[in-house]
């Protein structure tokens, strides 16, 4: 039996993902068994000691069949504190889009098995209103028109700069929250979505990644009651890590660091940050 680091293990899961439908099922089996700390296929026991507490704020789906680009996109968005899944064909993209609670879907229009435009139309006709950013070839302006008319929220033409992609994703997340500017303010607390910086009365505050993830999600859903389960579904990378009971712990820590009035508890139902600027 050999051992893998978290990073090696994630790479392995990503690689199995590239097998399309088979890969998806295989990955879910792997994730389940990793939860039990043993991957049966490779007989490798991953070290999940640190990833167990690894929390992020918003969930993004990347549907892109070019492995290098998909990997770069994932790396960029993960480095910004986002939870990222990758689909490598249109069928997998549609399945994940219909079954997982994403905040933004980045959808390449040129996908195998089912093209991106069909995936987009199917998601919208099924009532899915997740923000969708389409990736198109530079010289194909008709694709952009068709995509926007089919319900895409934004587009980028290849090749593009990762910084622009990140900015567009942040803008889509904000727009979903009904927010035009990148900084949330509630009383004397500010949260800057560009760098996840939190201040109290202008003084920067040190928060853990879990605390930032919870705070970010609640700010982006200001005025709406959010259950512990919904929070847990959005901020944990791996299904096996999701535990709604730990959310209460993070909220309590946030109250200690940011003041007791910021996050309100609705007993038995969840949490809310009321009106923000
Ligand atoms: Ca493609």
Q: What's the domain range around 126?
A: 55-177
Specify the CATH number for the domain of residue 138: 3.40.50.2300
Cα–ligand 1 centroid distance for 104 (angstroms): 18
Which tens digits make up the pLDDT trace of 48-90? Answer: 223 333 445 789 999 999 999 999 999 999 888 888 999 999 9
In-domain check, residue 277: no
Cα–ligand 1 centroid distance for 136 (angstroms): 9
How is residue 265 written in tokens? 């508890």
Which tens digits make up the pLDDT trace of 87-135? Answer: 999 999 999 999 998 999 999 999 999 999 999 999 999 999 999 999 9
pLDDT score recorded for residue 74:
95
In-domain check, residue 229: yes
Cα–ligand 1 centroid distance for 169 (angstroms): 19
Report the distance separating Cα 89 and Cα 64, nearest Å: 7
Cα–ligand 1 centroid distance for 33 (angstroms): 31
Question: Among residues 151, 177, 203, which one ends one of the domains?
Answer: 177
Which tens digits make up the pLDDT trace of 30-51? Answer: 333 333 333 333 322 232 223 3
Q: Do residues 88 and 65 make contact, with C-beta atoms less than 8 angstroms apart?
A: yes
In-domain check, residue 265: yes
Cα–ligand 1 centroid distance for 69 (angstroms): 10
Q: Tell whether pTM > 0.75.
A: no
Q: Do residues 215 and 254 make contact, with C-beta atoms less than 8 angstroms apart?
A: yes
Question: Among residues 177, 203, 222, which one ends one of the domains?
Answer: 177
How is residue 24 written in tokens? 């998806």
Query: Based on the structure, what is the number of domains in the chain?
Result: 2
Residue 214 and residue 224 in one domain = yes
Cα–ligand 1 centroid distance for 87 (angstroms): 11
């Amino acid at each position: 039996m050999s051992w893998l680091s978290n990073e090696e293990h994630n790479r392995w899961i990503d690689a199995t993902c590239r097998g399309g439908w088979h890969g998806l099922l295989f990955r879910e089996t792997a994730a389940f068994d990793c939860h039990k700390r043993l991957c049966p296929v490779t007989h490798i026991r991953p070290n999940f000691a640190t990833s167990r507490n690894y929390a992020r704020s918003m969930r993004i789906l990347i549907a892109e069949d070019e492995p290098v680009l998909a990997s770069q996109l994932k790396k960029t968005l993960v480095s910004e504190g986002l939870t990222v899944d990758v689909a490598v064909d249109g069928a997998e993209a549609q399945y994940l889009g219909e079954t997982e609670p994403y905040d933004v879907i980045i959808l390449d229009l040129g996908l195998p098995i089912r093209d991106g435009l069909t995936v987009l139309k199917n998601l919208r006709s099924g009532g899915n209103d997740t923000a969708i950013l389409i990736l198109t070839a530079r010289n194909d302006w008709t694709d952009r028109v068709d995509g926007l008319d089919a319900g895409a929220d934004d587009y980028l033409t290849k090749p593009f700069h990762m910084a622009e992609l990140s900015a567009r994703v942040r803008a889509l997340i904000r727009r979903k929250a009904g927010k035009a500017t990148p900084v949330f303010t509630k009383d004397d607390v500010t949260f800057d979505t560009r760098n996840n910086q939190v201040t109290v009365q202008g003084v920067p505050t040190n928060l853990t990644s879990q605390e930032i993830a919870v705070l970010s999600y609640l700010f982006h859903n200001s005025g709406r009651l959010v259950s512990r389960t919904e929070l847990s579904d959005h901020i944990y990378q791996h299904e096996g890590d999701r535990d709604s009971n730990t959310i209460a712990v993070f909220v309590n820590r946030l109250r200690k660091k940011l003041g007791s009035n910021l996050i309100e508890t609705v007993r038995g139902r969840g949490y809310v940050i009321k009106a923000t600027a």
